[in-house]
Structure 1
Amino acid sequence: MNLDLKGKTAIVCGATQGIGLASAVELALLSANVTLVARNEEKLREALETLDSSAGQLHRYFVADFSDHEQVKEAVENYLRLCPDVHILVNNTGGPSGGPIIEAETEQFLKTFQMHVINNQFLVQSVVPSMKNAGYGRIVNIISTSVKQPIVGLGVSHTIRGAVASWGKTLSLEIAQYGITVNNVLPGYTETARLDAVLGMRAKSQNKSPEEVAREMEAGIPIRRFTKAEETGAAVAFLCSPAAASINGVNLPVDGGRTESM
């Protein structure tokens, strides 16, 4: 099985923690050059030090706050002027705060749409030309199992992540002819700061401890535990490899079997 990414360059968004960082670590282990993107430069520098470089990889980072599209645009354009060859793009952006969808303000939807759909669209338009030239491209969107099975209390996130899933599927049909695949990874309950926030929110609303809520949630997962971030990162890295060349346009749950739909 050919998993070798030596000579390939990956941009990983939201890469200082959680699934983004785990994906970057796994890509580096497959010998890719990895560029980390996030809004906190200090954390980016720390994350950069965790990446394997035993195959002579050159890892970089650039700062971008995905709540500010113009800043993202400027940062990406500056980066590509220096490093124009990109073969892998991992779109990964944190979701909005939770709460009943009926109580969500219109501005929440607009802001989240821009953070996810608009920024993803700009990033793809920026890197696809170099992928076409190379005859190799991998675009992976980190979304959520909520596009298949909604999670109570995260309505705004579901709405926008569903839009990302549809956008990714459409894109996969248009650019596969150039050797570029587009896939959506759907994490379930994963051991990240996002899960901690969900546990806290549910504990407060149910008047329970976070530990009690966690036990109840784990009981509903066939493997009886939360997914580790590195397990999701491994799935991302595989989809970016040469071995996954014919996997295109799929929604891949990484959730321990929790999602009940096919």
Structure 2
Amino acid sequence: MDLNLSGKRALVCGSSQGIGKATAIELSLLGANVTLLARSEEKLQKVLGELSFRTGQKHDILIADFTDPMLLKIIIENYVIKNSIDILINNTGGPAGGQAIDAGTDEFINAFNMHLICNQILVQAIVPGMKKNHFGRIINIISTSVKTPLKGLGVSNTIRGAVASWAKTLALELGPFGITVNNVLPGFTMTSRLEFLINSIAEKENKNPETVKNEMISTIPAGRIADASEVAAAIAFLASPAASYINGINVPVDGGKTPSL
């Protein structure tokens, strides 16, 4: 099985922590040159030091904030003038919790801009290079909510579904050029966002956070919460040459929790 990414460059969004960081590390272990992208230069510099350099890779960082799509557009368009990106990992922190009926229209607009519009900006800048090389991997880290909406995440459920449909459309359009577009759907994964959600639920329901965590675990057939590295492994496989005929799919990495096919 060919998992070798030597000579490929991967842009990993949201790579200062959590699943993004774990993915950047995994891709570097497979030989990829990694470009880290997030808001905090300090955090990215720390992650940079954790990447593998064993095949002589050249890693770098980009500082960008997805709340400012137009600035992101300038940054990525300037970057691709001299750098061809083979693998794009779209990964952005989810919107705040709450019911859809209670969300203001600005919450939907902001989430749409951060998730779908920023993804579109990155793809439009990067795809010409992928077409030229007849190789490309676009992988979106979204949520199992695209299969079954999650209670209390109204805005997130809505926006994640939009990203999933966008990705399926791109898969149809870009497949003839050797470019695949797939979505990875993490379940409960031990990240700072999950810790925040656990604490928020605990406060709202007047429960101990450990009780809330155990209630989450009870819904997972695997009987535990995932480590970010386990989600990263699935992402890395989809980014590899071995996954060349996998295109336009949603891949849950959730320990069997999602109750639908």
- The within-5 A match list for 1:28-67 is 28-67=28-67
In 1, Cα distance between equivalents of 2:73 and 2:131 = 21
Which of structure 1's runs of 4+ aligned residues deviate more than 3 A? none
Letter in 2 for 1:132: K
Letter in 1 for 2:139: V
Q: CA deviation at 1:78?
A: 2.1
Q: How does 1:149-160 map to 2 (within 5 A)?
A: 149-160=148-159
- Match of 1:164, as an amino acid? V
TM-score computed with the length of structure 2 as normaliser? 0.99
CA distance in 2, matches of 1:99, 1:180: 36
Structure 1: gaps (5+ residues) = none
The equivalent of 1:231 in structure 2 is 230
Instruction: Establish whether residue 19 from structure 1 lines up as the match of residue 19 from structure 2.
Output: yes
Given the alignment of the two structures, is residue 141 of structure 1 paired with residue 134 of structure 2, yes or no? no
Q: What residue number does 1:256 align with?
A: 255
RMSD of aligned Cα (Å): 0.7
Letter in 1 for 2:156: S
Which residue is 1:191 aligned to?
Answer: 190
Offset, 1:75: 1.3
- Partner Cα separation in structure 1 for residue 244 and residue 120 of structure 2: 22
Question: For the residues of structure 1 that align with 2:143 and 2:73, how far apart are their CA atoms?
Answer: 25
What is the TM-score normalised by the length of structure 1? Answer: 0.98
SS at match of 1:53: coil
Which residue of structure 2 aligns with residue 246 of structure 1?
245
Where do 1:177-188 residues align within 5 Å? 177-188=176-187
Q: Deviation at 1:213?
A: 0.4
Structure 1 window deviating more from structure 2 (52-61 vs 93-102): it is 93-102
Counterpart AA for 2:103: A
2:86 is matched with 87
CA distance in 2 between partners of 1:100 and 1:260 (Å):
21
Amino acid at match of 1:76: I
Question: How far 1:81 moved relative to its partner?
Answer: 2.3
Amino acid at match of 2:5: L
CA distance in 2, matches of 1:130, 1:41: 26
Mapped to 1, the partners of 2:220 and 2:148 lie a distance apart of 13
Cα distance, 1:260 vs. partner? 0.9
Q: What secondary structure does 1:81 align onto?
A: coil
Q: Percent identity?
A: 57
The offset of 1:82, in angstroms, is: 3.1
Which amino acid is the alignment partner of residue 86 of structure 1?
A: I
Structure 1 counterpart of 2:202, one-letter code: A
Which blocks of at least 5 consecutive residues in structure 2 are unaligned? none
Q: Distance in 2 between matches of 1:101 and 1:131?
A: 37
* Alpha-carbon distance in 2 for matches of 1:198, 1:152: 12
Give 1:204 shift.
1.4
Q: Separation in 1 of the partners of 2:82 and 2:197? A: 39
Aligned to 1:50, the other structure's residue is in SS state coil
SS in 1 for 2:81: helix
Aligned pairs for 1:60-79 within 5 A:
60-79=60-79
**SS at 2:184's partner residue?**
strand
